[in-house]
């Protein structure tokens, strides 16, 4: 298996002083206090034991209600499994669905871990590339549907997308769902950026249009919307018949998600809407500063993201983005992710996470300017 190039660059940068770290997908801000307090209370009140494989009933029920409120998804409790992170949710989905040699289709560019866990299970992954056209990322639906052929078992899609911010519309989701229903293809929808959508309170989700029996797995996480990256807490929405197998797989992976983090998750979902609103305001400011700075740099092609919190930009003349990210790190002390980490389509691009205060971003752009102009 190949190592993550994002990690490779970051490992070097984390040993340096005065680096502005824009490589990972996480914000500068701490977890909201009410969520931290909920975990502290739970620890003090003895939430110290093994928990049910699929999560506590209270958190599963809270997630069920949240999915109904946000996505108009009519789920039963048996469709919800709590996972110790979105990443673990992705891995569980790969373990659940994949046999060696299975054909899996994924959208590119893609966060490498999504494809990585399917490859770890022996899948034969085929990429369908987004194209940047007139300042926007676009999907060629005909090409995708051709690629989702009879021999395909799973389609994985992350929308809003890391790294591009590209987001599927409801009508595109409907076309994909209809096609996958006809051919019996599983859809694994990575919805971790669903609430970080620049045009509405939530991005379109397959959950809003699917039936409980559809072959759909939605992967979600507390990491991004509630600033909980280090907590490792997420969830899956699946057809009800996956519940037992997911519980068994969880038993052999981590056995359960810690009780006190699950308590924190309940508070995040029930009381955290104002925290998301505050984060959204901060991200808007970060987006504006980033768009203005990158649009002003002559070698940069800035492609507007619809969601998530990244700028994924092309740099004229750049043909080794990994080496460029290393050089930029050494010479400017700004940590970026190389576009090649996200698949071949990403070569020539760099990614930065703009979930930072505006003054930090401005300092980063001052440092980057000589490189990108
Ligand atoms: C697209 C996508 N999916 C899933 C995750 C995993 O989130 P976590 O494991 O922190 O819940 C990330 C994290 O960067 C991501 O970008």
Which pLDDT value is given to residue 47? Answer: 75
How much is the pLDDT for 281?
97
Q: Percent of the chain at pLDDT above 70?
A: 100
Give the pLDDT mean for 260-269.
Answer: 98
Whether 263 shows a pLDDT value over 90: the answer reads yes
Indicate the average pLDDT of the chain.
96
Q: Looking at residue 244, what is its pLDDT?
A: 98
Please check the confidence at residue 296 and state whether its pLDDT lies above 90: yes
User: How many angstroms does the Cα of residue 361 sit away from the middle of ligand 1?
Assistant: 22
Over residues 57-74, the mean pLDDT reads 97
The mean pLDDT of 51-65, rounded to a whole number, is 98
Mutation to probe ligand 1, out of 4, 7, 10, 25 (largest number of atoms < 8 A from CB): 25
Q: Tens digits of per-residue pLDDT, 153-168?
A: 999 999 999 999 999 9
What pLDDT is attached to residue 311?
A: 98
142 within 8 A of 131, measured Cβ to Cβ = no
pLDDT computed for residue 255 by the predictor: 98
- Reported pTM: 0.96
Q: Of all atoms in ligand 1, which is nearest to the CA of residue 114? A: 3
Is the pLDDT reported for residue 3 higher than 90? no
202-206, 263-267, 307-311, 367-371, range with the lowest pLDDT: 367-371
- Of ligand 1's listed atoms, the one at least distance from the Cα of 26 is 14
Task: Out of 162, 164, 222, give the residue to mutate to test ligand 1, the one with the largest number of ligand atoms within 8 Å of its CB.
Answer: 162
Residue owning the nearest CA to atom 13 of ligand 1? 25
Task: Encode pLDDT of 4-26 as tens digits.
Answer: 899 999 999 999 999 999 999 99
Q: How far is the CA of 261 from the centre of ligand 1 (A)?
A: 17
Ligand 1: nearest atom to the Cα of 88: 9
Task: Give residue 134's pLDDT.
Answer: 87
**Each residue of 340-358: pLDDT tens digit?**
999 999 999 999 999 999 9
Which numbered atom of ligand 1 lies nearest the CA of 110? 1
**Distance between Cα 86 and ligand 1 center (Å):** 5
Model confidence at 151, in pLDDT bands (50, 70, 90)?
A: very high
CA 193 / ligand 1 centre spacing (Å):
9
pLDDT in tens, 240-259: 999 999 999 999 999 999 99
Protein residues with CB under 6 Å of any ligand 1 atom: 25, 85-87, 111, 158, 162, 190, 192, 221, 223, 229, 234
- From the CA of 298, how far away is ligand 1's center (Å)? 32
Going from the Cα of 83 to the center of ligand 1, the distance in angstroms, rounded, reads 12
pLDDT at 175 over 80: yes
Can you give the pLDDT at residue 197?
97
Rounded to whole angstroms, what are the CA distances from 93 to 187, 222, 243, 250?
A: 10, 17, 12, 11
- pLDDT reading at 46 higher than 90: no
Burial class, 367, CB count within 10 angstroms (exposed 0-12 / middle 13-18 / buried 19+)? middle
Q: Whose CA is nearest to atom 16 of ligand 1?
A: 162
Does residue 1 register a pLDDT over 80? no
Q: Is the pLDDT of residue 85 over 80?
A: yes
Joined together, the tokens standing for residue 195 give: 């609430």
Pairing assessment for the beta strands 20-21 and 334-335 based on DSSP bridges: parallel
Q: How confident is the model at residue 108 (pLDDT cuts 50, 70, 90)?
A: very high
């Amino acid at each position: 298996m190949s190592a993550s190039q994002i990690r490779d660059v970051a490992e070097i940068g984390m040993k340096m002083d005065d680096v502005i770290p824009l490589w990972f997908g996480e914000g500068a801000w701490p977890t909201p206090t009410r969520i931290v307090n909920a975990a502290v209370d739970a620890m003090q009140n003895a939430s110290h034991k093994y928990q049910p494989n699929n999560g506590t009933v209270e958190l599963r029920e809270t997630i069920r209600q949240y999915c109904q409120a946000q996505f108009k998804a009519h789920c039963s409790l048996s469709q919800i499994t709590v996972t110790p992170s979105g990443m673990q949710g992705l891995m569980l989905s790969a373990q659940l669905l994949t046999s060696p040699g299975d054909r899996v289709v994924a959208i590119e560019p893609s966060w490498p871990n999504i494809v990585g866990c399917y490859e770890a299970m022996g899948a034969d992954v085929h990429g369908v590339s987004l194209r940047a056209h007139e300042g926007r990322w676009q999907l060629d639906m005909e090409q995708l549907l051709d690629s989702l052929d009879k021999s395909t078992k799973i389609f994985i899609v992350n929308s809003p997308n890391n790294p591009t911010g590209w987001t599927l519309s409801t009508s595109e989701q409907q076309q994909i769902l209809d096609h996958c229903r006809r051919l019996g293809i599983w859809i694994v929808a990575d919805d971790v950026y669903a609430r970080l959508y620049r045009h509405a309170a939530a991005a379109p989700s397959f959950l809003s249009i699917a039936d409980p029996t559809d072959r759909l797995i939605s992967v979600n996480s507390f990491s991004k919307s509630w600033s909980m990256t280090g907590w490792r807490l997420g969830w899956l929405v699946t057809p009800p018949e996956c519940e037992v197998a997911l519980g068994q797989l969880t038993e052999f992976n981590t056995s359960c998600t810690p009780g006190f983090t699950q308590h924190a998750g309940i508070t995040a979902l029930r009381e955290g809407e104002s925290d998301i609103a505050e984060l959204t305001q901060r991200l808007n400011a970060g987006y504006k500063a980033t768009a203005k700075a990158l649009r002003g740099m002559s070698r940069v092609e800035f492609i507007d993201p619809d969601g998530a919190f990244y700028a994924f930009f092309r740099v004229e003349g750049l043909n080794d983005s990994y080496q460029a990210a290393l050089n930029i790190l050494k010479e400017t002390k700004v940590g970026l992710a190389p576009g090649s980490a996200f698949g071949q389509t990403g070569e020539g691009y760099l990614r930065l996470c703009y979930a930072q205060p505006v003054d930090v971003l401005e300092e980063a752009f001052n440092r980057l300017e000589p490189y990108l102009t």
